[in-house]
Structure 1
């Protein structure tokens, strides 16, 4: 049995986890959403310096290198692809992380009003 690289997403019901597994088998790679969730969670709970100065780093565009930069976009895609009940359940966890990041960050750059805030925030990092 192969060990999981990332732990399962905490507080998800069995039905939501099953929906997530089915979705990953058809549209994404197994474990991709768990990896994205844990990357996003590590940003929310990580060192405050990374959030205070979003202009301090850069994103190379390679998901394996800049996992956090693609994590929120992947989560958003999954939230739209899951069944409604499972999407609401996962969205509550993601929204809590979003709020933590927005509360801790001092500057969230915005390129365009229609662009999701996390894309501008992470591109500038």
Structure 2
């Protein structure tokens, strides 16, 4: 009986699809599973990792842009705090243990944002705290 070459066997296999989710660095496996379940039910795949990266980028912008983009939402620089909005949703929707791990990643960024901005006295009170900074 003749054997097929490995390349012929691999050629007949279905191509591997990239994963439909992204990994949030800093979360353990159980928290990753909770995040994926949340993304399947209420968000889109990879939304939490993308929101965390978006918030990280917005917080690290030069000081003169941080507050302006949080309030006005400059489309070329950031998402106007929407990453933080999705993170807030995830923090409230995840199980307690997973939310605690995600909060440990978000809180240093929040502290940096608070240190680099001031309260906006003209911002509407019904807006989230990150949109009431200037």
Structures share fold, TM-score greater than 0.5:
yes
Unaligned runs of 5+ in 2: 1-16
Q: 1:48 to 1:19 in 2, by over 3 A?
A: same
Unaligned runs of 5+ in 1: none
8 Å Cα contact 1:33/1:74 also seen in 2: yes
1:109 partnered with 2:120? yes
* Matches for 1:41-120 after TM superposition, within 5 Å: 41-51=56-66, 54=68, 58-59=72-73, 67-105=79-117, 107-110=118-121, 111-112=123-124, 115-120=127-132
| TM-score relative to the length of structure 1 | 0.75
| TM-score relative to the length of structure 2 | 0.70
Partner SS state of residue 119, structure 2: coil
Q: 1:56 to 1:86 in 2, by over 3 A?
A: closer
- RMSD across aligned C-alpha pairs, in angstroms? 3.0
The structure, 1 or 2, with the larger RCO (C-alpha pairs under 8 Å, 6+ apart) is 1
